[in-house]
Structure 1
Amino acid sequence: MRLRVAAALVAVAGASLTVAPPAYAVDNVCLGVDSSVAPGHTGRPSAPYRDLGIAAAQEVARATSPLSGTPVRVAVLGPGVLGGAVPVHATEVRGGAAGEIEDPLGTEVAGLVAGADRPDGQPVGFAPDAEIVDVRVYRDGASDEDSARPSAPHLSDGLRWVADRADELDIKVAVVPFAVRKNGGLKHAVEIVQQAGVVLVAASGDRPEDGTELATDFATDATDPSARTEDAGPVLFPAGYPGVVAVNSSGDPEGAFANVLKNSRTVVAAPSYDAVSYGLNGGTCLVQPTSTAAAAGEVAGVLALLWRRHPDDGPRQVVARLVNTANGTTDDPTPLTGAGVVQPYEALTRPLAPAADGTVERTVVRDAPQARAPVPEPEPDVLADLRDDAVWWGLIGGGLLVIALLLRPVLARRRR
């Protein structure tokens, strides 16, 4: 699934660009999905669900934190979420999102967060016990109508709504599966959401199609994707703002990161190819090709599990658990995977103790040459007493000999 940044960025910049809308057939409701996956079809298992060990992570979360009270809620800002197999708690329509749901992106992302199991029992959502808050901020990213596309003002309006309702609705995570250009109002809205205690997750950016206006912003002529000098960090937002969990997608069978952009603001990555979610026909579908939007939905689901496991954590502490257990390193993040691919089971089970500001104390291991070896205990000396006696007798004998030598001349004169 391609991230619809081209149309969104043009809308924000005030330019015009005609984008042919994709064909959404009832049995092809995720962007670029396997059309064989239709309603009621059992289909193939979700590859990212399997590869990330989500079943084991869910088991830990449920065993340590039995569901009681309000479930963790995740706000999905996008073109709308179709309820049913995806548990929608509340819906809010902002700006250009009025009307029927036309774009499957919101439903797909929400399904990856909390979609119910399929009829045959195969899993879909990473955190199926969570609930979705559907915040509709645009209608169709592929539309020719500017007012229907994603825009920074409409996204800002939606984020402010999330911040205002965060306590009331117990919203812990918000996910933005699309990108727009930098905007002062958007930056302020992101800060307001963060101050409300909500973790904001955003897609880091899919590679735009050749010929689109966005494609001119990045170097696309390199044959080796890892050698490209591009950086979407200063271009795509809200992923580019401080404190936002910017998520890239890994595991592309078409070539390492062929469909995603390098982004210096990337925090973590997650595989998305062949992820199973739900579409606008209520059936399951496959995510193909790789998609940073889908990866962002998966990470939002992992964060929901983490917050269920650690309900007393603050937002920075939960993010610290996610980042510090990824398979890379926080000391040397990369523009493709950040601190690495998320490891949900490790994040839920590793005994970290992040501070309120998200810092994690590092354990310093002393190198072997610097470590002091213990002094060995001396062997018991069974002849020590005999040697001591011999020394004393020697000293006494020597003393008597010296006295005798000194007295010999005196005694000799007396005899005369």
Structure 2
Amino acid sequence: MRLTSALVAAVALGGVGTSLIVTAPAYAVDNPCLAVEATTPAGDTGRASAPYELLGMAAAQDQVERFAPPRATAVRVAVLSSGVHDTDGAIRVAGTADESGVGGEVTDPQGTEVAGLVAGAERDDEQPVGIAPDAQVVDVRVYVNRSSNEPREQPSTPNLARGLSWVASHARQKHIKVAVVPFVVRSSSTLRAAVKAVQAKGVVVVAASGDRPAAGAAFSSEFEDPPAKDEDAAELYFPAGYDGVVAANATGTGDPAGALASVVKNSRTTVATPTYDAVSYGLNGHTCLVQPTSTAAAAGVVAGVVALLWQRFPDDAAAQVVSRLVNTADGTTDDPTPLTGAGIVQPYEALTRPLAPERSGEVERTVVQTDDDSRVTAPEPATDLLASTRHNAVWWGLIGGGLLVVALMLRPVLARRRRG
């Protein structure tokens, strides 16, 4: 167990009736991860991760532990964000790169929150945190907040393009199989080329489909206004809008405000996942809660599921891994929606259903073909091979019967003639 619990200590001082009670920070706290700073008093949340339970992660992780082939190198996930703060092994960081152009201490919690959702170690009370706890994180910092007192610096398209280019250059050497981008920027030819370069190295790119800012909060230096609630953000938000990128949206499960208060509609959404009250790590090295609903967190959860799939099926191509993820979601690939895409991810199904996707990701499916111009009619009667025989037999029967009747009528007449 990695972290120690908070204790309550009483120290009695000399003197009659004089005592001093020193109380350590409470063990159970419900700090939202985005509000935790490095100086926030120590204390873990005592609550279990709601999305972990909803997604059935215990059964999914058990499948991986039992059936995944042994690997010499852990699956690694590049987290392109504000930097990952690791304290006492809470998150296994296997490499770092700084493409922010600023450097310094990690002061923005997003990168740490997302990395914890992907691969956070279990808490001191053995409660699970990360979706793929055996995975390792490669911290690729692409933006920095210098301090909490300064206006928040927003991610930029050029910085993200540089970060993705770094991933493409180091993917094979560092065994990076997943790259997660928990924010949105505007499109550019440089960014598109960087995404394609990463994908060409066999890396699955998972990106947030787009968060809606809280009331009164700045949205982004790159976007004047967020989309309206019924507006499609597909042509505005990137890299989620690029082909082949797994765009992760978040459901409002458990969130009193619901999903639309926190996320935008995006017809490029690939899959969705619950995020509200997920457990991750904050900048103080202790566990915290993911609030409110967030597509940034959804990208972290989905990236963790993809890492589990890589661990279970190490010989799969990237398209095959994505196919397992998408074709086992609880919706349908034939009718995706702008909030959930092909549906909510089903990790256990993705790990166990015998899909056998091709290297291209295609899955053989049975398709019922119908003629849209045809009208509903009664079924044609079956061909009666003995119809003509029966028809002839009826006529011969009638003729024979008629002759018999005539013979019986003529019999008395013929008999009288013979007697005469």
Note if 1:254 corresponds to 2:257. Answer: yes
What does 1:101-120 correspond to in 2, within 5 Å?
101-120=106-125
Note if 1:157 corresponds to 2:162. Answer: yes
CA 1:68/1:100 → structure 2, altered by over 3 Å: closer, same or farther?
same
Matched to 2:233, the amino acid is A
Q: Residues 249 and 257 of structure 1 are in contact (CA less than 8 Å); yes or no, is this contact kept in structure 2? A: no
Equivalent of 1:177, from 164, 173, 182?
Answer: 182
CA distance in structure 1 between the aligned counterparts of 2:369 and 2:197, rounded to whole angstroms? 43
1:190 alignment counterpart: 195
What does 1:10-409 correspond to in 2, within 5 Å?
28=31, 30-31=33-34, 39-83=42-86, 84-140=89-145, 149-209=154-214, 210=216, 212=218, 217-218=225-226, 220=228, 228-251=229-252, 252-364=255-367
CA distance in structure 2 between the aligned counterparts of 1:213 and 1:38, rounded to whole angstroms? 29
The structure where helix makes up a greater share of residues is 1
**Number of corresponding residues:** 357
CA 1:244/1:141 → structure 2, altered by over 3 Å: closer, same or farther?
farther
Quote the offset at 1:359 in angstroms.
1.0
CA distance in structure 1 between the aligned counterparts of 2:266 and 2:30, rounded to whole angstroms? 34
TM-score for the superposition, normalised by structure 2: 0.75
Quote the offset at 1:175 in angstroms.
0.2
Quote the offset at 1:38 in angstroms.
6.1
Matched to 1:245, the amino acid is V
Quote the offset at 1:232 in angstroms.
1.4
CA distance in structure 2 between the aligned counterparts of 1:208 and 1:330, rounded to whole angstroms? 29
**TM-align CA RMSD:** 3.8
CA 1:196/1:219 → structure 2, altered by over 3 Å: closer, same or farther?
closer
CA distance in structure 1 between the aligned counterparts of 2:266 and 2:172, rounded to whole angstroms? 32
CA distance in structure 2 between the aligned counterparts of 1:146 and 1:274, rounded to whole angstroms? 27
CA distance in structure 1 between the aligned counterparts of 2:239 and 2:312, rounded to whole angstroms? 27
TM-score for the superposition, normalised by structure 1: 0.76
Quote the offset at 1:134 in angstroms.
0.6
Quote the offset at 1:107 in angstroms.
0.6
Structure 2, unaligned runs of 5 or more: 1-28, 371-375, 383-420
CA 1:141/1:188 → structure 2, altered by over 3 Å: closer, same or farther?
farther
CA distance in structure 2 between the aligned counterparts of 1:147 and 1:256, rounded to whole angstroms? 24
Quote the offset at 1:60 in angstroms.
0.4
SS at structure 2 position matched to 1:266: coil
CA distance in structure 1 between the aligned counterparts of 2:276 and 2:108, rounded to whole angstroms? 20
CA 1:143/1:278 → structure 2, altered by over 3 Å: closer, same or farther?
closer
SS at structure 2 position matched to 1:31: helix
CA distance in structure 2 between the aligned counterparts of 1:100 and 1:199, rounded to whole angstroms? 29
Q: Residues 27 and 38 of structure 1 are in contact (CA less than 8 Å); yes or no, is this contact kept in structure 2? A: no
- Deviations 1:234-255 (CA, angstroms, capped at 9, x unpaired): 1111111111101000023312
Quote the offset at 1:95 in angstroms.
3.1
Quote the offset at 1:217 in angstroms.
4.0
Q: Residues 114 and 129 of structure 1 are in contact (CA less than 8 Å); yes or no, is this contact kept in structure 2? A: yes
Quote the offset at 1:85 in angstroms.
0.5
